[in-house]
Amino acid sequence: MFQIAFFLLLTLVPGTLVSAGTISGKVLDPEGKPVVQVRLLLVSKGKTVQSLFTDAEGGYVFSDLPSGTYELLLLLSSISVQKEIVVVEQSAMATRDLRLRFSADAEEIVVTATRTQAPAGLIGNSVSVLTDDEIEAQHATSVAELLRNIPGSNVLQIGGRGSLTSLFVRGGESDYNKVLLDGIPLNQPGGAVDLSNLSTMNVSRVEVVRGPQSALYGSDAITSVIQIFTIDKPAAKPEAGFFLEGGSYDTFRAGTSLRASSGPFSFSSSFQHLSTENSEPNDYFRNNSVASTLQAKTSRNSTLTLLARAERGKSGVPGPTAFERSDEEEYYRKRDLVWAASWEFQNKPNWSQRFSYSHSFISQLSEDPVLTLPSPYLPEYRGRKAVFPSFDFPFSFLSATRRQLVSYQSDLLFANHGITIGIDAERQRGHVGEVRAERSNWGIYLQDQFLLSERASLAAGIRLEDNGSFGFAATPRLSFSLTARDPSGETVWGQTRAKFNFGLGIKEPNFVESFSQNPFFKGNPELEAERTRSFEAGVEQLLFNSTVRAELNFFHNIFDNLVAFETTNYETFEGSFFNIGESRAWGFEQIVQASLEPFRFSAGYTYLNSRVLSSTNPFDPVFAEGERLLLRPTHSGYFGITWHVGRWTLDANVTWIGNRADSDFRGLGLREVAGYAKGDASAAYQLNSHAEAYLVLENIANSKYFEEIGFPALGFHFRSGMRFRF
């Protein structure tokens, strides 16, 4: 869900305040925890007379107040309006704690943008948040499906469910996104991440921060950081659940979950199985997921958390069946295992620390054990014939990598600013094909979130990186937020906020690019980091008593030192990797969201102008200078609506992707893939407090399209099931 500001209007009934009066208290959430660094306005006769932020204990004090009637407005990031009467006696001081009727969860507070809890309305980053309600309403089976309606992003799935799935954000490469699971990096060394079997099981929210974030997260965080948060809130009493569903293409999905707590301990565990045949021969997908979390309050101010998650998937690889007969033997197997331990403690109300260790293991096996296609063969498509033949041959390629990360972070909160300092030590090792390699990386980061005034906030940070491949690098970041207009009463025009961002991003080479000993694609240990320079400016406007939020963001990225393969000997066809590429991507994102109970609307449009500045492949015209970047649409957009009333929840989404530069890579001369529009819908009915029935319809119009040339997407399909909770 997008971040939308709202106003909690607290009306002080008519009364008499003596000269030099004071109003003080604390802002607390429903659990009694302080809500820190949120902005309060004191308004008299439509004008703001004082403004402040709550302190490290959630406290506030308005002093030196002349007699009169005031409105107290609390600015957070939500869309509901909550009113409360505060009676002020005729005395010099009025004290009242303000208890919010909502939890300060992902809807109001974001973590990924600053690595600390921060109100979305006070940070300059472009952040999109998918809450647990939105995730549940969509009934998505994978995280990749959830990311399709994120502004500036394009999810690319090569075939049916479970096939290779990549993400492009703001014109960057697919390996320019740092993907985290509760802080654990899911990328392979060098940034590659395949989202094909990352399920939504046990996922409570997803935060997407667009733009370079290497100042906080180091390598790979060039165009975005995506953090997936699992369910970690302890259950007041034991809770169990299971679901069962089936659908077209022999789809079957089932899962169970358990949550419990006792004394200082809380525990949650989930399991899920998914299988489907998809629509093409040898296009099956099987996936099992299991996740567990254990938390223990080691003291009044400290918590120990242990978590583990495993995903095991296998899928058939039929190939580009639009050009050739399906390969009936090739398959792809992916196994992910992550586990972590973290200890958080708060020494003082304004000082917290966190130690963590994480281990991620990613194994990907691509194998074609038997030659099933005639070889050589000549691909054909709609009367076109390839100019050169293709070959099928048995092969086996294994990529198995491990990342071990030790981190420490310290957060200090003062009256006007918060300091974050941390250190990451990482060990990477594994083998990709015949390449066996390892490297060590160190990073130190410093960030200051500074409240310049009652209207302006600034976040400045820098990271010093020592990478085992490219050596030393410094990546700064600057983010600025300015409230240009405050609301005054229930008018059409609400708060207006401007934001600005500048940052540098870096990405390390992958293991093959740095360490391969194969003479036909020999690694280059002298490769520099791929880099980006990015600027962003945007404006956010609230309308109609904060029930509507509109946002416009402009961005400009320059990508330097792109790593590309180049032939070094045309007699033997030996080659290596070099920093020879450069590209540019600029554009804008338009976002509108409205909450008009019982409806919730969201819509977005992205324009992307991308160009190759320095060619990475002089032999293929699709990579020539001046061409659009591969598989990145110039125009894209989405529209979604959710209706919740009584026992019914209805959700509908339309995604539109314009044409993209592409290549068949088989000599057919195809250099562009046509755009498409896809509509999905779901309906859920709450039978009672323990049972829910639901139906999911996907690609309702049965659109025929490719996300990549030659790989047909699924036509119309459906799923239906039952969910039980006890």
The model's confidence at residue 354, banded by pLDDT at 50, 70 and 90, is very high
Coil vs helix vs strand at 273? strand
Reported residue count of the chain is 726
Q: Residue 623: what are its φ and ψ, rounded to 5°?
A: -105, 10
pLDDT of 70 reads 74
Q: How far apart are CA 657 and CA 638, in angstroms?
A: 9
pLDDT tens digit sequence for 358-416 = 999 999 999 998 887 777 888 889 888 888 888 888 889 999 999 999 999 999 887 67
Least confident of 156-160, 488-492, 530-534: 488-492
In a domain? residue 37: yes
More confident residue, 593 or 117: 593
Distances (CA, A) of 105 to 30, 131, 143, 181, 375: 11, 9, 20, 17, 57
In a domain? residue 177: no
| CATH at 65 | 2.60.40.10
In a domain? residue 93: yes
Tokens coding 642:
């959710």
**Taking a C-beta distance cutoff of 8 angstroms, is the pair 337, 361 a contact?**
yes
pLDDT tens digit sequence for 210-223 = 999 999 999 999 99
Q: What angle do CA 704, 670, 197 make, to 5 degrees?
A: 55
The model's confidence at residue 4, banded by pLDDT at 50, 70 and 90, is very low
Distances (CA, A) of 365 to 142, 282, 315: 21, 16, 11
In a domain? residue 114: no
Q: How far apart are CA 181 and CA 293, in angstroms?
A: 13
15: containing domain: 6-99
**Taking a C-beta distance cutoff of 8 angstroms, is the pair 322, 712 a contact?**
yes
The sign of the CA dihedral 507, 510, 516, 519 is: negative
In a domain? residue 18: yes
pLDDT of 416 reads 76
Least confident of 56-70, 327-341, 490-504, 591-605: 56-70
The model's confidence at residue 76, banded by pLDDT at 50, 70 and 90, is low
pLDDT tens digit sequence for 332-343 = 999 999 999 999
Q: How far apart are CA 384 and CA 195, in angstroms?
A: 33
pLDDT tens digit sequence for 224-280 = 999 999 976 667 789 999 999 999 999 999 999 999 998 899 999 999 999 999 999
Q: Residue 5: what are its φ and ψ, rounded to 5°?
A: -70, 150
Q: Using the CB atoms, write b or e for 134-157: b if 16+ within 10 Å.
A: bbbbbbbbbbbbbbbbbbbbbbbb
Q: Is a pLDDT exceeding 50 seen at residue 16?
A: no
More confident residue, 119 or 477: 477
Percent of the chain with pLDDT over 70: 90
| Residues 41-45, mean pLDDT to the nearest whole number | 73
pLDDT of 614 reads 85
Q: How far apart are CA 237 and CA 260, in angstroms?
A: 6
pLDDT of 89 reads 54
Tokens coding 257:
């979950």
In a domain? residue 696: no
Q: How many domains does the chain have?
A: 1
**Taking a C-beta distance cutoff of 8 angstroms, is the pair 433, 398 a contact?**
yes
pLDDT of 616 reads 63
573 beta partners: none
In a domain? residue 287: no
Q: Is a pLDDT exceeding 70 seen at residue 323?
A: yes
Strands 265-276 and 224-230: unpaired
pLDDT of 487 reads 64
pLDDT of 488 reads 57
In a domain? residue 23: yes
pLDDT tens digit sequence for 582-622 = 999 999 999 999 988 889 999 999 999 999 998 766 666 77
The model's confidence at residue 12, banded by pLDDT at 50, 70 and 90, is very low
Q: What is the DSSP string of 340-399?
A: EEEEEEEEETTEEEEEEEEEEEEEEEEEE-S--S-SSB--EETTEE-SS-B----EEEEE
Average pLDDT, the chain: 87
Least confident of 73-82, 114-123, 283-292, 555-564: 73-82
**Taking a C-beta distance cutoff of 8 angstroms, is the pair 273, 256 a contact?**
no
